[in-house]
Amino acid sequence: DGYSTVSVVNGVLYTMGNKETVEAVIALDAGTGEKLWSTPVAWASKLSAGNGPRGTPTVAGDRVYALGGNGHLACLDRHTGDIHWRKNILKEFRGGVPGWGICESVLVDDGRLICTPGGTDATVVALDPAAGDVIWKCVTPDKDRAGYASVALAEIGGVKQYVQFTGVGTIGVRASDGRFLWREDSAANPTANCSSPQVAGEYVFSASNYGTG
């Protein structure tokens, strides 16, 4: 069960889903469909509007990063499925599960793993991909809760930044240190902000449904 899509790297397909009582990350041979490994990383996510994880595994180097429906984040060996580290980002940063579960696919960029706990301790956080340790935390002035989107990378005005569509608006966070830079809320709705921001040059596009457009 689940809503994850797939990442394909060097002929191997990576995905995740509920398997009976657990949430698992799975690797398949993209040519034959043969299962190469399957690793349980958390208990099965039982969520409104359908069970199972929603995010897609991110592959960076020899590691796979998977964020489950209840906020369990795992780092696995790409070749064997062995777990290097795992943590629950909602528990660590005092976030809450959005109504339909965590849907984010994490971003790995320039030695930082970026994700969105949407908690009182961190709206957006950068973790060390090797060990899971905190590099920086950003709490927005409005203490945005998480939406259902994934972070986009942008360079605007010569400043590299991470752009996210949270539960209440679109925000920009400086990549180097997590400093909050800007926000714009007109594209947001109060029900579900699902689409990741789209970046074109120095422009950022956000849109949502539920009467907002």
pLDDT surpasses 80 at 114: yes
Q: What is the rounded distance in angstroms from the CA atom of residue 67 to the CA atom of residue 95?
A: 14
Could you tell me which residues come within 8 angstroms of residue 157 by beta carbon, excluding any fewer than 6 positions away?
A: 202
Could you tell me which residues come within 8 angstroms of residue 26 by beta carbon, excluding any fewer than 6 positions away?
A: 14, 15, 16, 17, 35, 37, 38, 39
Q: Are strands 134-138 and 152-156 parallel, antiparallel or unpaired?
A: unpaired
Rounded average pLDDT over 158-176: 97
The answer to whether residues 146 and 116 touch, using CB atoms and an 8 Å cutoff, is yes
Enter the tokens of residue 155: 């360079």
Q: What is the rounded distance in angstroms from the CA atom of residue 40 to the CA atom of residue 200?
A: 38
Q: What is the rounded distance in angstroms from the CA atom of residue 115 to the CA atom of residue 123?
A: 9
What pLDDT, on a 0 to 100 scale, did the predictor assign at position 41? 97
Counting residues of the chain whose pLDDT is more than 90, the rounded percentage is 97
Rounded average pLDDT over 85-103: 95
Rounded average pLDDT over 32-46: 97
Mean pLDDT over each residue of the chain, to the nearest integer: 96
Rounded average pLDDT over 31-44: 97
CA distances in angstroms from 188 to 95, 108, 151, listed in the order given: 20, 25, 15
pLDDT surpasses 90 at 49: no
What pLDDT, on a 0 to 100 scale, did the predictor assign at position 213? 75
Rounded average pLDDT over 139-146: 96
